[in-house]
Amino acid sequence: MVRKTPKHCDTSTMPGTTGGWPSGPRTRTSCADWPGGEYSFVWHAIARNAAAPADLLVPLAARRHSSWIDNCLLRLVAAHPALTGAELDGLVPLLAARLEEGERPYAAVLELARRPEPAAGPLRRLGHLPGASARLRRGIARALAARPGL
């Protein structure tokens, strides 16, 4: 089965776009600017778009809906190639807060651990917070060990 992007999420058909991410005077600068920006499936469509800018992804990570949707969104944002440097490091405290709240953003933590940019120390500490499991700690250790250059 082929998944089709809903028409209102397809950026290639939007006025002021060049296919891919919108450009020019009609560039969308926040999720609220998107048609249907209050819906979680729109957040996921934006996070899946490899051309989405980092300044749009950071506020997207803080969005809340339900546990499953939040954790899936955090995983997509953590794996996004546009998120680097300080924005990527800013996800660590967000994930720590979610773990302490009793959420289980394990997939997002493991995505961060697989990436070479974030420092290993804060990621290891995530595995020892309340809400982290032994399985998460093992996953973090394996992902950090598999990083190139270690």
Better-scored residue on pLDDT, 20 or 78: 78
Q: What is the mean pLDDT of residues 72-89?
A: 92
- Please tell me the pTM assigned to this model: 0.75
- Residues 63-74: pLDDT tens digits? 888 889 899 999
From residue 62, alpha-carbon distances to 70, 74, 127, 144, 150 in Å are 9, 8, 21, 25, 31
- Which CA distances in Å does 76 have to 50, 73, 112, 128, 145? 10, 5, 10, 23, 22
Domain ranges (residues) in the chain: 29-145
Q: Answer yes or no: is pLDDT of 2 > 80.
A: no
* pLDDT score at 33: 57
Contact criterion met (CB below 8 Å) for 81 and 57:
no
Write the CA distances from 22 to 15, 50, 128, integer angstroms: 8, 12, 41
Q: Do residues 52 and 21 touch, judged by C-beta distance below 8 A? A: yes
CB 55 within 8 A of CB 47: no
Q: How far apart are CA 76 and CA 56, in angstroms?
A: 13
Over the stretch 10-59, which tens digit does the pLDDT of each residue have?
A: 444 444 444 454 544 344 555 555 556 778 888 888 889 988 888 888 88
89-142 pLDDT tens trace: 999 999 999 999 999 999 999 999 999 999 999 999 999 999 999 999 999 999
